Amino acid sequence: MTKQQLLEQDLAHIWHPCTQMHDHQSTFPLIPIKRAKGVYLYDFDEKQYIDCISSWWVNLFGHCNEYINQKLQEQLSSLEHCIFAGFSHKQAITLSQRLCAKLPKSLNKCFYADNGSSAIEVALKMAFHAKLLRDSAFSKSLEHNQESGTFFLSLQNSYHGESLGALSVSDVGLYKRTYEPLLLRNLTIPMPHTLSDYQEVCTTAPDSKLIAHYEQSLSFLESTLKHSTQIVALILEPLIQCAGGMQIHAPYFVKEALRLCHEYNVYVIFDEIAVGFGRSGSMFALEQCSVTPDFLALSKGITGGYLPLSVVLTNDQIYELFYAPYQENKAFLHSHSYTGNALACACANAVLDIFETQNILETNKHKSRYIWQNAQSLQKFAFIKNLRQMGMVCAFELDSINTRKGIEIYNKALELGLILRPLGNTIYFMPPFIINNEQIDYVFVSLQKIFENLSGSWE
Ligand SMILES: Cc1ncc(COP(=O)(O)O)c(C=O)c1O
């Protein structure tokens, strides 16, 4: 098939995610990809594109990584998949042991699913069910339909996925507004704006300025917890709210929010689907917050961007609530056909091998510094605001009232061989960890070119 035929066949049959398909007529192109290697995707004209967004934040060690390929091929010759109820396999067992060993001791049980949103559904359902089992006043109040309060708390600007439960606890209007009538009861905690001087404020003890920054959110949270008896859990993305515009928050906030919830016997769910596996600078963001949630959801980078897999970790106390001779209302009867897929688990074990043998987190510190130095070249543009960075995420806003300005940048970047995918007016750089200095230089020189050409037509 020629490139043109591929495009025609695609548009005849495929409805792409997160896309107004009409935009492919003229606003931005659809690009069939022929192959990929390292940070590059190649189209059918052999044009190369740097994957500046790690293909929706999943790719850690490059496309067609030789080591992950090898481990995947080895797994293919023995077991591709088997039912995970009543059966198990070595890759999932090894992966679970290794994840638990890397996380706080109490996170000791792994429940697998097959994508980020599904992990959020698992965490919400498990938390709700655990509260029913733990708290008889709660279950009675539901039986008698007393109160019609909220069950979940989440943060302004949060994003936890787009299945209905996950969307209920998300706060990105673009994805949520239309479906509001279908959603679960959730209350959004107001949040202050992102921190841009993260390094300064977060490496030292919280000062009065930082405490004041979060005061309103934390007091709103506390008074909500005080006045409601039906709240099951607070869910949050620790340190970076990614799809909400790469909003960076201090460990102080996460820590205080968790402390308050636990004071009021409310569970805390950390969604590290996007920031886990080194993206925040540490292996898991919770390490920088020095706290342990009741539930932790992981996905995306877990397989290095190879195959869909997710997991929710929880503690023995919660597990024990469900552990009893069979009764329907005590078992957690949630399932997905591809739960614990052996190929995906083999990739995840390969990803952990790479972390363990190649000093990735230390190397990333240097890379992240190099990205930050390069990013300073953008400060000269008056319309670039709020340049910020945390770990392997660097972001800024375009000061424009035109909310589709990002699309113009997206198209210009494609011409120069960069895949950027702005979130509204937020432009971010979140590359695979194997990106090298020369490639980083190319990205920022190209961005300067794009912005120089745009300067004249700014609004
Ligand atoms: C923090 C967070 N949670 C959940 C999800 C949903 O994951 P998935 O797209 O695999 O359903 C995402 C996806 O971007 C995310 O960033």
Q: Does the C-beta of 297 come closer than 6 Å to ligand 1?
A: no
Nearest CA to ligand 1 atom 3: 160
**Listed residue (434, 347, 354, 344) closest to 70, CA to CA:** 347
**What kind and span of H or E run contains 175?**
helix 173-176
- In the numeric block, the tokens 């890379």 are attached to 367
Q: Does the C-beta of 71 come closer than 6 Å to ligand 1?
A: no
Collapsing DSSP to helix, strand or coil, 435 comes out as: coil
The per-residue pLDDT for range 424-459, each reduced to its tens digit, is 999 999 999 999 999 999 999 999 999 998 766 655
Collapsing DSSP to helix, strand or coil, 251 comes out as: helix
Q: Are 68 and 62 in contact (CB under 8 A)?
A: no
CA distance 159 to 180: 15
CA distance 307 to 316: 28
Q: Are 135 and 264 in contact (CB under 8 A)?
A: no
Q: Are 53 and 421 in contact (CB under 8 A)?
A: yes
Nearest CA to ligand 1 atom 16: 274
Kindly give the distance from the C-alpha atom of residue 142 to the centroid of ligand 1, in angstroms, as a whole number.
30
Kindly give the distance from the C-alpha atom of residue 77 to the centroid of ligand 1, in angstroms, as a whole number.
31
pLDDT of residue 65: 98
Residues with Cβ within 8 Å of 363's Cβ and at least 6 positions away in sequence, in order, are 433
Q: Does the C-beta of 242 come closer than 6 Å to ligand 1?
A: yes
> Torsion-angle region of residue 307: left (phi > 0), alpha (psi -120 to 50) or beta?
beta
Q: Are 108 and 100 in contact (CB under 8 A)?
A: yes
Kindly give the distance from the C-alpha atom of residue 82 to the centroid of ligand 1, in angstroms, as a whole number.
25
Q: Does the C-beta of 274 come closer than 6 Å to ligand 1?
A: yes
**Listed residue (155, 314, 119) closest to 248, CA to CA:** 155
Q: Does the C-beta of 308 come closer than 6 Å to ligand 1?
A: no
Kindly give the distance from the C-alpha atom of residue 116 to the centroid of ligand 1, in angstroms, as a whole number.
5
Nearest atom in ligand 1 to 163's CA? 11
Amino acid at 320: E
Kindly give the distance from the C-alpha atom of residue 53 to the centroid of ligand 1, in angstroms, as a whole number.
14
What is the DSSP pairing of strand 233-236 with strand 152-155?
parallel
Q: Does the C-beta of 243 come closer than 6 Å to ligand 1?
A: yes
Neighbours of 177 (CB within 10 A): 8
Hey, what's the torsion of the CAs at 201, 206, 208, 212, to 10 degrees? 80
Nearest atom in ligand 1 to 242's CA? 16
The tens place of each residue's pLDDT in the chain, 459 residues long, gives 888 999 999 999 999 999 999 999 988 899 999 999 999 999 999 999 999 999 999 999 999 999 999 999 999 999 999 999 999 999 999 999 999 999 999 999 999 999 999 999 999 999 999 999 999 999 988 887 765 678 999 999 999 999 999 999 999 999 999 999 999 989 999 999 998 866 555 666 788 999 999 999 999 999 999 998 899 999 999 999 999 999 999 999 999 999 999 999 999 999 999 999 999 999 999 999 999 999 999 999 999 999 999 999 999 999 999 999 998 889 999 999 999 999 999 999 999 999 999 999 999 999 999 999 999 999 999 999 999 999 999 999 998 766 677 888 999 999 999 999 999 999 999 999 999 999 999 999 999 999 998 766 655
Nearest CA to ligand 1 atom 5: 161
Amino acid at 57: W
